[in-house]
Amino acid sequence: MYEHIIIHSIASELHYKCANGIYLQDFTQYNKKYGWKNGDLILSKLAKELETISSGGLVFRLYGDDFILLTKEYFDVQKYSESLDNFLKDSGITLRYKYYDIEKLNIENITDLEILLSTSNQNKI
């Protein structure tokens, strides 16, 4: 799994302007039916695909079955929904997306981002 650790301020030191939330729906049911090993394979493939399409973006796994993609410029991950959905075909898993403008939302550090994402996750975007 491709994972990164942020130890600096997101907006000011790393200069990320865009965050895309990628939320897997019905992933728990997939794990129950096909097992954790197959679920981990899906997560790994999705992370690799997100890194590929974002060309230098940072991909983080959140809350077990969701991802956040940080990019330095505006990036619309939904433009790639067809290719992302394609490898989930017949799995019963669907993806939902949410765009966050880091500058407009005044996200200054990882804590601000975590609060935003946990609130979004609770509201089931």
What structural domains and CATH numbers belong to the chain?
18-122 (3.30.70.270)
Each residue of 101-110: pLDDT tens digit? 988 988 877 7
Each residue of 9-41: pLDDT tens digit? 444 455 788 999 999 999 999 999 999 999 999
Q: Which residues lie closer than 8 Å to 15 by C-beta, 6 or more apart?
A: 72
According to DSSP H, which parts of the chain are helical?
27-34, 36-54, 81-86, 110-122
Structure confidence at residue 8 (pLDDT): 40
In contact, 19 and 109? CB cutoff 8 Å:
no
State pTM to two decimals: 0.80
In contact, 83 and 28? CB cutoff 8 Å:
no
